[in-house]
A and B are shown apart, each in its own frame.
Chain A
Amino acid sequence: MHEFLVHTDGLTVGYRGVPLIRDITLQVRRGEILTLIGPNGAGKSTILKSIIRQLMPLGGTVYLDGRDMSGMHERAIAQRLSVLMTDRSRPELMTCGEVAAAGRYPYTGRLGILSAADRAKVHEAMALVHAEALYDRSFDEISDGQRQRVLLARAICQEPEVIVLDEPTSFLDIRYKAELLTILKRLVREKQIALILSLHEIDLAQKISDRIVCIRSHAVDRCGTPEEIFSGGYLERLYGMTAGSFDEHYGGIELAAVPGPPRVFVIGGGGSGIPVYRRLQRQGIPFAAGILHENDLDCPAARALAAQVITEQAWQPVRPQTIAQAKAVIDHCAQVLCCVPAFGPLNDCNRLLAEYAGSRLTAVTDST
């Protein structure tokens, strides 16, 4: 047994002899999820197709458990590797059970007739993806999320050691996205198989992957654990974001702050400010936010959306100069919005600010 279930060595991929990405080195162990992310058109699918030999690699080698795949028999590969790609074929007159059973192909005889053991595997796979109830339904009349699960059942009952998935969660709503990824995670843990997938949703990639490979401008740009990739603002560079920002902690996308001198000062904290920040951003009003401790729940959103943020170091009492700074900003604002329902002893600075604002102060409750 080789250390890596799948690894590539100097793999060059492309279409019609024209190299798109050169010298790719990927490695995935048993029980590991490897995710490819990167901008549209960077070549994620091309790499996946080359690994599963739908495209012939233009150079280098793909190894399956230490063996060069180009020398392996089609059936031998199929017994160890299955796929869930984006091509949406709509076979006519097939039940979901029949579609899933198609995964038994590498194990059945000359005419492809299923044995009782084969049927049991199909049922087991359907149960694993919570699609047992769909068994007799026509594949044509179920929803996208259900269809994706049936196709996953097909990939599972092929009894692979590695599954390659190309954007399995695209076109699924959040319920099915979460369900599918939960199933995949369980599959990897319980059966110790490896997954190689590409994902559009980087927030999901952060949550599910053991290792992430970043593809940018036709090259492997970076490779590492989610913690390594989701730090230092790397993702904004990877996707070449020109507007807005990406929150590495929560995996959310924020639109760009409205530039200009702040017209409104928002007193927030503990999550109360976020909806107000969003509303002001939508209305195109530049605003300042404060006084927030750097570890406050409101702080990341304020940093992304406010023209100016007055912060204090985490776990430290608010210093007089910070309060003075906030008052100076309030002096230039036409309005002060207070989102905090009540001030506690550790939040006294914001009570002072509210008093300082005087008639310009408007209290914001949840409903307004």
Chain B
Amino acid sequence: MEQPSRRRTAAAFAALALVLMLLLICSLNVGSISLSAGEVLRGLLHRSGEHAAILWELRLPRSLAGILLGGALSVAGFLLQTFFNNPIASPFILGISSGARLAVSLLMVGLLCRGFLIGSAGMIAAAFAGAMAAMGIVLLLSQKVRQMGLLIVCGVMIGDICSAITDFVVTFADDANIVNLHNWSRGSFSGISWDNVRVLAPVVLTALALAFLLSKPIGAYQLGEGYAQSVGVPIRRFRLALILLSGLLSACVAAFAGPVSFVGIAVPHLVKGLFGTAKPLVIIPGCFLGGGAFCLLCDLLARTLFAPTELGISSVTAVLGAPVVIWIMVRRRLRTDERGS
């Protein structure tokens, strides 16, 4: 049993890495100016050629951010699904992304009014505060509402309220940067600079590494809280770590890309199916690769489908991700029905 499953794991990782590489190359090639693979390679290696600037200043940071943020979002989704023991929990569904976005938009607009620009670290900090506030409300509700379905509905409501206020703030912000802000509030990987990536990458990678190191207690927690406690998981500290990490990862996404829906649910589910297991030791890195690939693909589609008009990233992730969510729910319903009979 261990041998074939190990082979499957290796094959799945290789496939994910390959897809990710291909998509990265595609997303560097494709755009308003199409480049050949050779041009991309030359541009990247020698920083020469007429389009090096496009590659280096626009497409590469955008693609890298897409990978990092997609991975972050998927892992955050996986952590939240473990925490709430619910397969459709995710930063977006539970209103955590929207809370983060609201905090960022308030800070951005507030500072813009006074003529300041907000730095990357400030954006993450604000987003983290917003994410934690939304998460706090969800957790308070989860104490009162024992029913998971109801909790999800509450999360969606919190998200809607936060989004509405964000829209309000963005609409009435009077500044030249409003275009930028508008793009961000729709959800997009465009306009991400190297400065952003330099701050974003260490934060996301550290959080991912920490999440990976929590694989063992996460695996125990998948069997139920009582069981995890009985094998020696320090429950309070572990739950706090899950909240902080998933909040931080969601915050990074919300700060730089705005709302990105369904990735957090769809990717962990697809990755579990691909690997044929839910072991966090495999699924966390798998989610990172899968999430990166999924977001690169969505970004590519958003950029190219109706070029030169760019779609909001959520429009694409929703179209690709929502069917997966529906599939999950239908299958779960089937499973419970089978047991009932």
Greatest chain A CB density within 10 A among B229, B276, B281, B335 is at B229
| Sample (25) of A-B pairs whose CB atoms are under 8 Å apart | A54-B226, A54-B229, A74-B229, A74-B233, A74-B234, A76-B232, A77-B232, A83-B226, A83-B227, A85-B226, A85-B230, A87-B226, A89-B222, A91-B278, A92-B87, A92-B272, A93-B272, A94-B277, A99-B223, A102-B231, A106-B231, A106-B232, A111-B215, A111-B216, A140-B335
Q: Does A279 contact B (CB under 8 A)?
A: no
Instruction: Tell me which residues across on chain B come within 8 A of A97, comparing CB atoms.
Output: 1
- B276 in contact with A93 (CB, 8 Å): yes
- B232 in contact with A78 (CB, 8 Å): yes
A158-B231 contact, Cβ under 8 Å, with A95-B1, A112-B216, A135-B1: yes
Greatest chain B CB density within 10 A among A53, A75, A93 is at A93
Instruction: Tell me which residues across on chain A come within 8 A of B335, comparing CB atoms.
Output: 140
Besides the known contacts A54-B229, A91-B222, A93-B276, 17 further A-B residue pairs in the complex with CB atoms under 8 A apart: A74-B232, A74-B234, A78-B230, A79-B232, A92-B278, A93-B272, A94-B222, A97-B1, A98-B279, A102-B219, A102-B220, A102-B227, A105-B220, A105-B233, A110-B213, A112-B219, A158-B231
Docked pose: A73 CA to B231 CA in angstroms? 11
Encoded as 1 (CB less than 8 Å from any A CB) or 0, chain B from 4 to 25 comes to 0000000000000000000000
- A89 in contact with B223 (CB, 8 Å): yes
Closest 10 CB pairs of A and B: A112-B216, A78-B232, A89-B224, A105-B231, A74-B232, A75-B232, A83-B230, A93-B278, A106-B232, A78-B231
Q: How many A-B pairs fall under 8 Å by CB?
A: 82
Within 8 A of A (CB), among B268-317: 272, 276-279, 281
Binding site for A on B (CB under 8 A): 1, 85, 87, 213, 215-216, 219-220, 222-224, 226-227, 229-234, 272, 276-279, 281, 335
Instruction: Tell me which residues across on chain B come within 8 A of A113, comparing CB atoms.
Output: 281
- A105 in contact with B278 (CB, 8 Å): no
Docked pose: A113 CA to B279 CA in angstroms? 11
- B226 in contact with A94 (CB, 8 Å): no
Instruction: Looking at the assembled complex, report how far the CB atom of B317 sits from the nearest CB atom of chain A, in whole angstroms.
Output: 23
Docked pose: A92 CA to B335 CA in angstroms? 11
- B229 in contact with A103 (CB, 8 Å): no
Instruction: Tell me which residues across on chain A come within 8 A of B232, comparing CB atoms.
Output: 73-79, 105-106
- The A interface is mostly helix, strand or loop, or mixed, namely loop
Q: Does A40 contact B (CB under 8 A)?
A: no
Instruction: Looking at the assembled complex, report how far the CB atom of A102 sits from the nearest CB atom of chain B, in whole angstroms.
Output: 6
Instruction: Tell me which residues across on chain B come within 8 A of A169, comparing CB atoms.
Output: none
Within 8 A of B (CB), among A108-161: 108, 110-113, 135-136, 140, 158
Greatest chain B CB density within 10 A among A52, A74, A105, A113 is at A105
Q: Does A82 contact B (CB under 8 A)?
A: yes
Binding site for B on A (CB under 8 A): 52-54, 73-79, 81-83, 85, 87, 89, 91-95, 97-99, 102-103, 105-106, 108, 110-113, 135-136, 140, 158
- A93 in contact with B229 (CB, 8 Å): no
Docked pose: A154 CA to B85 CA in angstroms? 21
Q: Which of B87, B223, B272 contacts A102 (CB 8 A)?
A: B223
Docked pose: A77 CA to B230 CA in angstroms? 8
Q: Which of A52, A91, A93 contacts B230 (CB 8 A)?
A: A52
Docked pose: A95 CA to B219 CA in angstroms? 13
- A136 in contact with B233 (CB, 8 Å): no
Q: Which residue of B lies closest to A53 (CB)?
A: B229
- A112 in contact with B278 (CB, 8 Å): no
Instruction: Tell me which residues across on chain A come within 8 A of B226, comparing CB atoms.
Output: 54, 83, 85, 87
A91-B281 contact, Cβ under 8 Å, with A78-B232, A106-B231: no
Q: Which residue of B lies closest to A140 (CB)?
A: B335
Q: Which residue of A lies closest to B237 (CB)?
A: A74
Q: Which residue of B lies closest to A155 (CB)?
A: B230
Docked pose: A81 CA to B233 CA in angstroms? 13
Instruction: Tell me which residues across on chain B come within 8 A of A73, comparing CB atoms.
Output: 232
Docked pose: A96 CA to B279 CA in angstroms? 14
Instruction: Tell me which residues across on chain B come within 8 A of A93, comparing CB atoms.
Output: 272, 276-278
- A87 in contact with B224 (CB, 8 Å): yes
Docked pose: A140 CA to B336 CA in angstroms? 11
Q: Which of B1, B85, B224, B229 contacts A136 (CB 8 A)?
A: B1
Instruction: Tell me which residues across on chain B come within 8 A of A78, comparing CB atoms.
Output: 230-232
Docked pose: A93 CA to B222 CA in angstroms? 11
Instruction: Tell me which residues across on chain A come within 8 A of B276, comparing CB atoms.
Output: 93
Docked pose: A148 CA to B166 CA in angstroms? 50
Instruction: Tell me which residues across on chain B come within 8 A of A53, comparing CB atoms.
Output: 229
Instruction: Looking at the assembled complex, report how far the CB atom of A328 sits from the nearest CB atom of chain B, in whole angstroms.
Output: 58
Greatest chain A CB density within 10 A among B226, B279, B281 is at B226
Docked pose: A75 CA to B229 CA in angstroms? 10
- B281 in contact with A111 (CB, 8 Å): yes
Q: Which residue of A lies closest to B273 (CB)?
A: A93
Instruction: Tell me which residues across on chain B come within 8 A of A75, comparing CB atoms.
Output: 232
Docked pose: A76 CA to B231 CA in angstroms? 9
Docked pose: A82 CA to B223 CA in angstroms? 14
- A112 in contact with B281 (CB, 8 Å): yes
Instruction: Looking at the assembled complex, report how far the CB atom of B231 sits from the nearest CB atom of chain A, in whole angstroms.
Output: 4
Instruction: Looking at the assembled complex, report how far the CB atom of B88 sits from the nearest CB atom of chain A, in whole angstroms.
Output: 13
Greatest chain A CB density within 10 A among B216, B232, B233 is at B232
Instruction: Tell me which residues across on chain A come within 8 A of B234, comparing CB atoms.
Output: 74
Q: Which residue of B lies closest to A86 (CB)?
A: B226
Instruction: Looking at the assembled complex, report how far the CB atom of B275 sits from the nearest CB atom of chain A, in whole angstroms.
Output: 9
Q: Which residue of A lies closest to B279 (CB)?
A: A98
Docked pose: A95 CA to B276 CA in angstroms? 11
Instruction: Tell me which residues across on chain B come within 8 A of A94, comparing CB atoms.
Output: 222, 277-278
Docked pose: A77 CA to B215 CA in angstroms? 21
Instruction: Tell me which residues across on chain B come within 8 A of A99, comparing CB atoms.
Output: 223
Q: Which residue of A lies closest to B232 (CB)?
A: A78
Docked pose: A53 CA to B222 CA in angstroms? 19
